[in-house]
Amino acid sequence: MARAVSTNRKIGFTVAAWVVALLIFFPILYTIITSFKSETEAIAGFSLIPSGTLESYAEVQAQSNYFKFFLNSVIIAVGSTILALVVAVPAAWSMAFSPTKRTKDILMWMLSTKMMPAVAVLVPIYLIFRDTNLLDTRIGLTVMLMLINLPIVVWMLYTYFREIPGEILEAARMDGATLWGEIVYVLTPMAVPGIASTMLLNIILAWNEAFWTIRLTTTNAAPLTAFIASFSSPQGLFWAKLSAASTLAIAPILIMGWFSQRQLVRGLTFGAVK
């Protein structure tokens, strides 16, 4: 009897999980479907069956060079992630292994900056970028995205490092390891899964960032988010073209996410279950 109840429950949970997953995924699915429609089909009304035309993709590529935006996205997302790790690894390290009375406060303060609406600092940031000639530059955007994602990177790494027992580091010290030896032979190999998860998540966050990328770029450094936005023009909304552009923009990150989903889930739920 108990077994039957638990089986019913399992089926119920599976169905509920599928419904929720489909609801969440539906906008992306409909975007992909719409990208294979003509403009006439796209505005005709709700339909899940496209004609399968590739004309929107051809027009999008003819109108703007996808690969230029793609390259900018890659440079900005990967660059800001590497830069964030360079800053965050030592920060998280010192907070995890030599905490002071203020460590928790500093962590909370860092996180609190994420709660502030970005638009509140838009004008000062824009002016700084303008005066330092960083507007529409890859380097400017890389630094900007590094800064806005830094609190999350530090938090994630801090959580990972906290899971490494301090006694292991002390054992390495007793075994004659210098600070360098400790980092290279003991700490890094143990923290690699955590660093990899953090990297993946940060690449996704940076790839999807639209607020700053659209406002601080025009043509030279514009990534794929700006590429999508450029199809929402004053001449009107072209749904099929917009969908094709969106599909092209999210495809790389969707593929990367698909292949690294196990690592990502582990990274996001690390330390959550005790």
Partner 1 sequence: MGNIVLNKVSKSFGATTIIPEIDLEIEDGEFVVFVGPSGCGKSTLLRLIAGLEDTSSGKINIDGRDVTGEAPAKRRLAMVFQSYALYPHMTVYKNIAFPLKMAGEDAAVIDRKVKDAARVLNLTNYLERRPGQLSGGQRQRVAIGRAIVRQPSAFLFDEPLSNLDAALRGTMRLEISELHHQLKTTMIYVTHDQVEAMTMADKIVVLNAGNIEQVGSPMELYKTPKNLFVAGFIGSPKMNLINGTAAAKHGATTIGVRPEHLGISTTAGEWKATVGVAEHLGSDTFLHVHADDVGPLTVRADGEIGVHHGETIFLTPSPPKIHRFGTDGRAM
Task: Provide, rounded to whole angstroms, the least separation between the CB of residue 98 and partner 1.
Answer: 13
**Among candidate residues 199, 207, 201, 197, the one with its CA nearest the CA of residue 77:** 207
Nearer to partner 1 among residue 107 and residue 191 (C-beta): 191
Task: Provide, rounded to whole angstroms, the least separation between the CB of residue 172 and partner 1.
Answer: 8
216 binds partner 1 (CB under 8 A): no
Given a contact cutoff of 8 angstroms between Cβ atoms, the answer to whether 204 and 268 are in contact is: no
Of 121-180, binders to partner 1 (CB under 8 A) are 165, 167-168, 170-178
Task: Provide, rounded to whole angstroms, the least separation between the CB of residue 261 and partner 1.
Answer: 24
Task: Provide, rounded to whole angstroms, the least separation between the CB of residue 102 and partner 1.
Answer: 15
C-beta pairs of 56-60 under 8 Å, 24+ apart in sequence: 56/240, 56/241, 56/243, 56/244, 57/244, 57/248, 59/241, 59/244, 60/231, 60/241, 60/244, 60/245, 60/248
- Total site size for partner 1, rule CB under 8 A: 17
Task: Provide, rounded to whole angstroms, the least separation between the CB of residue 198 and partner 1.
Answer: 18
Nearer to partner 1 among residue 69 and residue 160 (C-beta): 160
The residue with tokens 């509920």 is 16
Dihedrals φ, ψ of 237, to 5°?
-95, 125
Nearer to partner 1 among residue 166 and residue 271 (C-beta): 166
Interface with partner 1 (CB under 8 A): 165, 167-168, 170-178, 181, 185-186, 189-190
